[in-house]
Amino acid sequence: MSSDRYLYPLKFVTIYKEKIWGGTKMKDILGKDFSPLKNCGETWEISGVPGNLSKVSEGVLKGSTLPDLIEEFGTDLVGDKVLEQYGNDFPLLVKFIDAAEDLSIQVHPDDKLAKSRHNSLGKTEMWYIFQADEGAKLISGFSKDTNKEEYVEYLENGKLTELLNEEDVESGDCFFLPAGRVHTIGKGLLLAEIQQSSDVTYRIYDFDRTDDEGNKRELHTQQALDALDYKAYSEYKTGYKRCPNEIVPLVESAYFHTNLLEYSTGIIREYYNQDSFVIYTCFEGEAEIQVLGHTTKIRMGNAVLVPRKFKEVHIRSKSGFKMLETYMP
C-alpha cells in the first residue's frame, strides 16, 4: 500500500438516474444538479453494484471505487466479518428516491432465490421518508393473507390493488421491507433508501405506462410468483419515538442496523465494540465529521462512509442535523 494513501471519512460522486416516474426534488429540495437529465428519480450515493460503482469524490483517494478500496485497505475499511462474508463486494446500497409518480408495484427476491437466478444478493431494504406531499401514500405488503392462486386471479382480473396494504405517509415515517414483500413508493414522496447491494427487481404491475417511444416497461410476472411473501402482517410501518439529541433505533435486521440521529449541536459516537464501517446519510441540516485529525463536511443530500478503523467519531454542528446512521450487524 502506498504510504501517501490513507483512509478518512469518504464521500462519493453521486450517480444520477433518470426514471419514468422521477421528478425535480433532488434539485429543488436537496440542491443536487442532475442536468442534463430531464428528471431524477434516484441518486445512488454509495454503491458497489457492478456497472454503478461509486468513486471517491475528494482527498487522496479521489477516483477510487469501493472494490478498489476494499482490496487496498481490507478490514480497516469494512471490518473482519464483512470482508470474510462479502470479499471485495460492498454489501449495502444507499439511495435517495424522488417519486413524482407512483413507482411500479414490485417485489425483490431473497438471497437464496437471487443467488440461484442472478448470482446476486437478495434485496431487503428500508425507507425513511423525509418529505411527503399532502395525501401521499405507499404500498407495503398484503392487506390479508393470500396465496399464489388467489394472487394470480386478482392480478389477471386487474384487481391486484384490492389485495394490497396502502399506507398514508408523512415526513418521519419509516418502513422496513424484507425481501419478498410486495411494495411501491407512491407519488409525492422523497426518501432515503438503505438496502442490500442488489439491483434485482421484479416488476408486477406498472399502471400500463409507456415511455417516450410508446413502449411499456417489462413485467416479471412469473419470476415474482416464487419471490412473494403471501402473508399479511399486523404492522408495516416502523414504530419509534422521536427523541431529539438521543440515538433512536429504527431497523435491526440481519443485513444492516440503522439509527436516527437528530441533534441540535453534536455528538461523539464510539464504535469500539463494532466490527463494521458506518454510513451517515444526511437529510436535514449540516455537520462536520471528525476522526483523528480528519474533517469531512456533510450536509442535506450527502452520505459519508466512515471506515471501520475509526472507533471514535465526533459530529459537530452549529445549525443541527438529521441523519441516518447505518452499519453491519
pLDDT at residue 1, rounded to an integer: 45
Q: Would you place residue 49 in the very low, low, confident or very high pLDDT band (cuts 50, 70, 90)?
A: very high
Length of the chain, please? 329
Do 161 and 253 have their domain in common? no
Regarding whether 269 and 210 lie in a shared domain, the answer is: no
Spatial CB neighbours of 19, under 8 Å, sequence gap ≥ 6:
39, 40, 41, 42
Measured CA angle at 67 (ends 66, 68), to 5 deg: 90
Question: Is there a contact between 227 and 113 (Cβ–Cβ < 8 Å)?
Answer: yes
Same domain, yes or no, for 219 and 259? no
pLDDT in tens, 51-99: 999 999 999 999 999 999 999 999 999 999 999 999 999 999 999 999 9
pLDDT beyond 80 at 280: yes
State which amino acid sits at residue 313.
V
State whether 75 and 151 are in the same domain: yes
| Mean pLDDT, residues 274-284 taken together | 97
Residues 204 and 284 in one domain: no
- Joined together, the cell numbers standing for residue 228 give 412473494
CB 117 within 8 A of CB 109: yes
Contacts of 153 (CB under 8 A, 6+ apart): none
279 and 200 within one domain: no
174, 128 contact by CB (below 8 A): yes
What does the mean pLDDT of the chain come to?
96
Q: Are 194 and 129 in contact (CB under 8 A)?
A: no
Distance CA 131, CA 145 (A): 31
CB 43 within 8 A of CB 96: yes
Element (H, E) at 37: none
What does the pLDDT read at residue 101? 97
Spatial contact of 140 and 175, defined as CB atoms under 8 Å apart: yes
Residue 6 belongs to a domain: no
208 located within any domain: yes
Same domain, 166 and 295: no
Q: Is 61 left (phi over 0), alpha (psi -120 to 50) or beta?
A: alpha
Please check whether residues 145 and 257 belong to one and the same domain. no
CA distance linking residue 19 with residue 100, whole number of Å: 10
pLDDT in tens, 123-151: 999 999 999 999 999 999 999 999 999 99
CATH of the domain at 137: 2.60.120.10
Looking at the structure, tell me whether residues 276 and 154 fall in a common domain: no
Residues 221 and 261 in one domain: no
Active-site residue numbers?
203
Residue 107 pLDDT: 97
Q: Report if residue 232 sits inside a domain.
A: no
Q: Residue 162: what pLDDT?
A: 96
pLDDT grade for 15, boundaries at 50, 70 and 90: very high
Residue 36: domain span: 15-227
- Is pLDDT above 90 for 264? yes
CA dist., res. 145 & res. 162, Å (int): 12
- Shared domain for 275 and 171, answered yes or no, is no
- Of 325, 323, 312, 305, which Cα lies nearest the Cα of 77? 305
pLDDT at residue 215 above 90? Answer: no
Comparing 293 with 260, the larger pLDDT belongs to 260
- Both 19 and 61 in one domain: the answer is yes
Domain annotation covers residue 258: yes
> Is pLDDT larger for residue 66 or for residue 218?
66
C-alpha cell at 108: 425483490
Domain count, the chain: 2
pLDDT for 3 equals: 59
